Amino acid sequence: MISLAAADLEADDVVRAAIELLNEEGFDAVSMRRVAARLGVSPVPLYSRVGNKDDLLDAVADRLLADLVPAELGHAHWADCVGQWARALHERLRSVPDSRLVLRTRRWAFVDASRPLIDALRAGGFTEPEAVRACRLVMWSVIGFVTVESASLAERRGGHRSPSVPGGDPAGVDQADADALFEQQLRYLIAGLTADHPTDLSKFGI
């Protein structure tokens, strides 16, 4: 337990303690009372530092999604930027021990994380509405995949038969299957976006 005088308490201390609780005990453990106990203070000063519990959870999500990719994705083709951003989001989200945090997060954490991708899409010739729509499709696909992936890996029963087609075992999937399925979904998604914005995808393995 971290012991801080209430006067020395900062918002960063509160968010860090909440993330530690999330990692150690899961989503249900994150409450103002538990975070305050971890910091060695009463819950009262937490409200003036971070707001209510919903605000705290949003701050946790902001922290977990911060610096997802470089602010500038560089001069790569937009399709490569989509792949880089989607893989980074996938890796970051599946490091969260409880997908409920992802599902209940207010949109602004994801909006901030998506700005570099939107800029890359705009640089690739997408209009602003097209870039926002494309980014939303990528984001929702990744969030949905991570949610199902975490549940599927937790629920798989029995021996894994390692079929010739990754993800082809009716009994479930292992991590290698999930990784292969994610890459396949990403290829399909980029190919679909390219239908509206034709380009040479051979260098992306598509």
Neighbours of 158 (CB within 10 A): 8
Q: Could you report the per-residue pLDDT of 17-69, keeping only the tens digit for each?
A: 999 999 898 888 999 999 999 999 999 999 999 999 999 998 998 888 888 87
Over the chain, what is the mean pLDDT? 84
Q: What is the pLDDT of residue 65?
A: 84
Rounded-to-integer distance, Cα 122 and Cα 19, Å: 34
* Residues 197/124, Cβ–Cβ less than 8 Å: yes
Cα distances (angstroms) measured from residue 12 to each of 18, 105, 117, 151, 181: 10, 18, 27, 31, 37
Question: What angle do helix axes 128-155 and 78-94 make, rounded to 10 degrees?
Answer: 40
Higher per-residue confidence, 181 vs 173: 181
pLDDT of 119 above 80: yes
Assessment of whether the complete model's pTM goes beyond 0.85 = no
10-19, 146-155, 160-169 — which is least confidently predicted?
A: 160-169
Rounded-to-integer distance, Cα 19 and Cα 29, Å: 10
**Mean pLDDT confidence for 87-116:** 81
Identity of residue 79: A
Rounded-to-integer distance, Cα 164 and Cα 188, Å: 20
Print the SS3 string covering 91-139.
HHHHCCCCHHHHHHCCHHHHHHHHHHHHHHHHHCCCCHHHHHHHHHHHH
107-121, 145-159, 187-201 — which is least confidently predicted?
A: 145-159
Task: Give the single-character DSSP code of 170.
Answer: T
Q: What is the pLDDT of residue 151?
A: 76
**Mean pLDDT confidence for 143-166:** 71
69: which residues sit within 8 A by CB, 6+ positions away?
Answer: 84, 85, 88, 116, 117
User: Which domains occur in the chain, in start order?
Assistant: 6-63 (1.10.10.60), 70-204 (1.10.357.10)
pLDDT of 184 above 70: yes
User: If residue 88 lies in a helix (H) or strand (E), which one and from where to where?
Assistant: helix 78-94
Cα distances (angstroms) measured from residue 52 to each of 44, 56, 176, 205: 10, 6, 40, 47
pLDDT of 99 above 80: no
For residue 204, what pLDDT band results from cuts at 50, 70 and 90? very low
Q: What is the pLDDT of residue 95?
A: 85
**Mean pLDDT confidence for 80-87:** 94
Rounded-to-integer distance, Cα 49 and Cα 39, Å: 13
